[in-house]
Amino acid sequence: DLTGKRILLTGASSGIGEAAAEKLARRGARVVVVARRGDLLDDLVTRITAAGGDARAHACDLADLDAVDSLVDTVEKDLGGIDILVNNAGRSIRRPLEESLDRWHDVERTMTLNYYGPLRLIRGLAPGMLARKDGHIINVSTWGVKTESPPLFGVYNASKAALSAVSRNIETEWADRGVRSTTLYYPLVKTPMIAPTRAYDGLPGLSAEEA
């Protein structure tokens, strides 16, 4: 039962996050939607509240770790904590490893957005969950970390592998203290994030609603 549950969902301005926010709100959750695009978040909140749901928006770039800390402080003050954290936001890079390493700023931003940002949210919100002996952390990963190193995704898969490892540790270390974790290893999902990559055209994939 999600009625009254405080759920913070990142990457909520489009794709999987947007679809999930609307579904969770319909099930009675109090949804906190987070992404960089505040205008898109405001549109989402308007739709959710018009349908009778409970939602609030917080624009935040998860690659800015100070901004992530401020987000945690605001949410803790306004809501008294979060029951379920969904680390959905992500950045994908499809590029040969040699080219990726030559574009170091892309490597750093991918690691920060896909790993450090989610970890910072966990660091900020988990203490409250542990104190209440109740919480759930859901981390969105990719099927690529469970395969034999598919080419062109070395940096992206490395960032998601790091998050997946922490996600599994949460389950082994905190489950007996009431905080559980789930890792979602998604296949290809047709979202705005992959739209610019023509190589995906025509390939089978899930819709955001299916994911």
**Which among 116, 156, 185, 200 is annotated as catalytic?**
156
3-state secondary structure of 189: strand
Q: Where are the beta strands (DSSP E) in the chain?
A: 6-10, 30-35, 54-59, 84-87, 135-142, 179-186, 189-190, 206-207
Q: Does residue 80 sit within a domain?
A: yes
194, 196, 200, 203 alpha-carbon torsion, rounded to 10° = 80
Q: Does residue 62 sit within a domain?
A: yes
Note the pLDDT tens digit of each residue in 132-152.
999 999 999 988 878 767 788
Q: Does residue 1 sit within a domain?
A: no
User: Percent of the chain, pLDDT > 70?
Assistant: 88
- Total of domains in the chain: 1
Active-site residue flag, 116: no
Q: Does residue 52 sit within a domain?
A: yes
Q: Which domain holds residue 74?
A: 6-207
Q: What is the mean pLDDT of the chain?
A: 90
Note the pLDDT tens digit of each residue in 158-185.
999 999 999 999 999 999 999 999 999 8
The pLDDT of 121-129, averaged and rounded, is 99
Give the per-residue pLDDT at 203: 46
Q: Does residue 78 sit within a domain?
A: yes
CB-CB neighbours of 52 under 10 Å? 9
Give the per-residue pLDDT at 186: 76
What CATH number does the domain containing 166 carry?
3.40.50.720
Q: Does residue 32 sit within a domain?
A: yes
Q: Flag whether pLDDT at 153 surpasses 90.
A: no
Q: Does residue 38 sit within a domain?
A: yes
Locus of tokens 């055209």: 201
Q: Where are the beta strands (DSSP E) in 96-170?
A: 135-142
Note the pLDDT tens digit of each residue in 57-74.
999 999 999 999 999 999
Q: Please, which pLDDT band fits residue 204 given cuts at 50, 70 and 90? A: very low
Q: Does residue 104 sit within a domain?
A: yes
